[in-house]
Amino acid sequence: MKRYVYINDENLAKDIYCDNRISNRKYTIWNFLPKNLWEQFSRFMNQYFLLIACLQLWSLITPVNPASTWGPLIFIFAVSASKEAWDDYNRYLSDKKANEKEVWIVRQGIRKLIQAQDICIGNIVWLRENDEVPCDLVLLGTADPQGFCYVETAALDGETDLKTRSIPSACMGIDVDLLHKIKGVIECPSPDKDIRRFDANMRLFPPFLDNDVFPLTIKNTLLQSCYLRNTEWACGVAVYTGNQTKLGMCRGIPEPKLTAVDAMIDKLTGAIFVFQIVVVIVLGIAGNVWKDTEGRKLWYVQYPKEGPWYELLVIPLRFELLCSIMIPISIKVSLDLVKSLYAKFIDWDDQMVDPETGIRSNATNTAISEDLGQVEYILTDKTGTLTENKMIFKRCCISGRFYGNESGDALTDAQLLNDVSIGSADVIKFLKVMAICNTVIPVRSKSGTISYKALSQDEEALVCAASRLRMIFENKNGNILDINFNASPLRYEVLDTLEFTSDRKRMSVVVRDCQSREIFLLSKGADETILPLTYSGQQVRTFAEAVEQYAQMGLRTLCLAWRKLEEGEYQEWASMFKEANSTLVDREWRVAEVCQRLEHDLEILGVAAIEDRLQEGVPETIETLRKAGINFWMLTGDKMNTAIQIALSCNFVSPEPKGQLLIIDGKTEDEVCRSLERVLLTTRITESEPKDVAFVVDGWALEIALKHYRKAFTELAILSRTAICCRVTPSQKAQLVELLKLCDYRTLAIGDGGNDVRMIQQADIGVGISGREGLQAARAADYSIGKFRFLKRLILVHGRYSYNRTAFLSQYSFYKSLLICFIQIFSSFISGVSGTSLFNSVSLMAYNVFYTSVPVLVSVLDKDLSERTVMQHPQILFYCQAGRLLNPSTFAGWFGRSLFHAIVVFVITIHSYAFEKSEMEEVAMVALSGCIWLQAFVVALETNSFTILQHLAIWGNLFGFYVINWIVSAIPASGMYTIMFRLCKQPSYWITMILIIATGMGPVLALKYLRYTYRSSKINILQQAERLGGPILSLGIIEPQSRSPLDKDLAPLSITQPKNRTSVYEPLLSESPSATRRSIGPAQRFDYFQSQSPLASTHTRKDN
């Protein structure tokens, strides 16, 4: 669908298109309450608690005051609603500030100062230097005579370098005084969120031009939220406004990610719900039976002889209300609160601050910190992530002659310097392509020195190297390039630019020599796209060998070429190029097709090799995380050999002869099939360690494998813990992440550029590096860090602590709710199984909100091991990866503890006070006191590192319990008048508390002592070493695990079955962890390729 924008005529579009009012708000004043309530009650847990609260309004069945449920429910909803309201109010203030910003526009030929929200489609907007662009504009004029201006797009795409924008050719030469009178129409597509593409056409009305069509691209636009820099003024016509700008279309709330811990909590909640229903049914039947057999015989019970039709439901419903607290109502709010604190700990971590830039780590997503501790696969980009992305020109091969091999630096190579000084024709051509074939902008300072602004670090390296070799790119004035070579000025006019794309993998420029008037095509790009385009007869073997040699050194390579064009050939091609650029549908594809018609019969001039150094600490980080049982995949767009050399240098794989690289290649289905079959068989029978075996695949073979042999490739992905994927596109990166997620692995993707965004968003955890390619990846990620080495601390320290704390908090929340619920159930057996509550409503409400919440919230400060120990022994991350601290087994332990403590509290309380003719309120308060004392000791027992704040929370909360109840006991109308005063004066009360603590905690302490003494885990050993101050040299194997029979019997993968999480890779606590493989299915004959490959049956295993 198209949009027609009439320049300087807002009336034609005013009623069709939206105004420029920005609104990122989620709510309004009128819909906040119903919309927020609808969102909250869309969750099953909230629906359940609302149903319980409504049932409590039925006085016939409610065992407690409805306030005991309505109070916490309203409090929790109020907290959530207040948070949403606060966030939405901040969005409103941000929108208000942007909408009320004053801008200059032209309306009816007169300049006016209006608010940004009043801009309409078709208005001409005037900007001054450093102004923010209020909407999407098509440039009409600038202060620069050549029609150029510079914009900063960091707020849009995160890229910090200035970009050049130019006015359309149709507006060239129009006087500034006539711009406010300009008339015309722009034909553009409907609003979209592609910030790198704008395919449109412009027609200007007479007297400016006679309805000629001129193509528009993204380079003719100024997009919303960009800033005008180094340009006195610029003006443009508004084409997209308000939330229909490209930035507005990109806004949106990302889908929330569900962590493994959240998924487990949901399963445990479901199990408790089923248990609760069973208990309610059993007790309901028992209650009705007792009522009919015994209850009606008791004169003081006063049951009616005949009840209403729903009489049989009354007791079960009472027990449903009584048991509803089995599921803690506050667990979600508590988890959200502590997860926000986890994110703040990351933000506040001074050890994760980039010393070069001062950039701090940042947690954008506050809900998934515990998932960091369960990462199993890390998929990483190479350039800018593992490397510094600081490109340095190191070597080159020109016309078959190698430069820089002896000295290691071509810029200091005596032979190259000599060839430059004597004016070697081949060298000069090579340097000209380096200096001209780019989008670099030279900037001259006041002192006269020249610096270069480039979107690509490769281009900047080439231009700087050409400058050091006396081919100096001095100035760019419109389409005119001024070059200085050996003090001789050269001038070229850029006629057309054939831009780089990920499909073409090359860029070219068509230039005219302003002195000779000759036209040349200059090209540079990847070897696989440039070498096939050579003219017949040119020998490219030397250049191919150069590419191979440089790739073996880990250098990035670019092939440079050129061709002389005839005037007629160029003119014919230029008309087709203009027509393709004027197409609104499939413009990119049509332009690429036209470019191919010119890029042929090239003369290869040489190969440039560029070094991209590894970041500091990358090898150590990868080695440490490997010891933690984390597997690594490298996904890069570079050549295979370059990627392999980088992988070797950063400990990604082991060097030969220990290391083994299994390459999957091929251009056809059969070739890829045979290659994949060979690699898969080798991987299954190998006895090598994980990092010693890696498979390597390029983008072409990967596409075939994912399309035709996905099941086999999936098995290879599971068996091989190291992979190097080369020449892959952004979409392929995302596909590989999705593949591992479908195998039920927790994935982390890390990158630094815009091409990594899809991969980062697809992964369970996305980490962006704030690098030289801008902030696109960092903004799209869940976490942003300054350097790759910070990933080690992010996972081992923050991820592990977050998982441990969340596991304890969630299980403790169930424990305290089950404890009070079991006591209620036991008390029903001495009250005729009638569903009567032992505790009053105030006590129940205070129990959940005050008495038991404060101590556990300070668990966010607990550390089972010091950070130093965790970093020294990364293998202990296995306990988090395998879910050892939160699973059905550990939950069963907490369930059993709550049941045992409930029995202890109930039995001791009843035997201590039931025969003393005590009031029921006194018995209830004794039981409640026993619960509070037990929970204080449970929290203290489970706490590993005490701080003053934790002591205050645990014991101060216990003291607060008595203070609150003394106050309530002083109120005559409270129903608890003088009870706490009387109890505290009785020695029997304190003896009862001692008995409860001793009986309840004694077995727990004994079990813990036996486990620490005779079945201590590696974490326990490290804790003991910390307390004793002794070093731990080696702890041996975390969990003994025999090698899976899969590796002997060559069992294929059954990807339809869920992965068994208990057979996760368990590394050693030693310097060289040995490999164990996952059990992924029963033994079967390997027959994936029988229908595709005739060689499938020839691969048999020979036993010597």
Q: Which of 950, 913, 906 is closest to 931 using CA atoms?
A: 906
**Is 381 designated active site?**
yes
Annotated catalytic residue: which of 157, 371, 381, 496? 381
140 burial (CB, 10 Å; 0-12 / 13-18 / 19+) is buried
Q: Decide: 669 and 712 in contact? Cβ < 8 Å.
A: no
Tokens at 915, concatenated = 């025969």
Sign of CA dihedral 970, 974, 977, 979: negative
Q: Decide: 732 and 707 in contact? Cβ < 8 Å.
A: no
Tokens at 1016, concatenated = 């201590």
Which residues neighbour 965 within 8 Å (Cβ) at sequence distance 6 or greater?
925, 976, 979, 980
Listed in sequence order, the DSSP H helices in 253-328 are: 260-293, 311-323
CA separation for the pair 641, 652 (Å, rounded): 14
User: How many H helices and E strands in the chain?
Assistant: 36, 35
Which residues neighbour 147 within 8 Å (Cβ) at sequence distance 6 or greater?
139, 141, 166, 167, 171, 172, 478
CA separation for the pair 723, 701 (Å, rounded): 14
Tokens at 892, concatenated = 């069963």
61 burial (CB, 10 Å; 0-12 / 13-18 / 19+) is buried
CA separation for the pair 811, 893 (Å, rounded): 10
CA separation for the pair 318, 666 (Å, rounded): 70
CA separation for the pair 890, 896 (Å, rounded): 10
Q: What distances in angstroms separate CA 625 from CA 55, 64, 377, 766, one per listed residue?
A: 52, 53, 10, 17
Beta bridge partners of 496: 510
CA separation for the pair 3, 363 (Å, rounded): 40
Q: Decide: 201 and 186 in contact? Cβ < 8 Å.
A: yes
Residue by residue, DSSP assigns 336-405 as HHHHHHHHHHHHT-GGGB-TTT-PBPEES-SS-GGGGGG--EEEE-STTTTEEEEEEEEEEEETTEEEST
Peptide bond into 207 cis (omega under 30): yes
Q: Decide: 601 and 392 in contact? Cβ < 8 Å.
A: no
Buried/exposed 961-973: b ≥16 CB within 10 Å, e otherwise: beeebeebbeeee
Q: Decide: 815 and 891 in contact? Cβ < 8 Å.
A: no
Order of strands across the sheet that contains 163-166: 163-166, 148-152, 227-229
Q: Decide: 474 and 482 in contact? Cβ < 8 Å.
A: yes
Rounded to 5 degrees, φ, ψ at 750 are -130, 135
Ramachandran region of residue 266, left (φ > 0), alpha (ψ -120 to 50) or beta?
alpha
CA separation for the pair 779, 160 (Å, rounded): 13
CA separation for the pair 535, 712 (Å, rounded): 41
Q: Decide: 855 and 353 in contact? Cβ < 8 Å.
A: no
Active-site residue list: 381
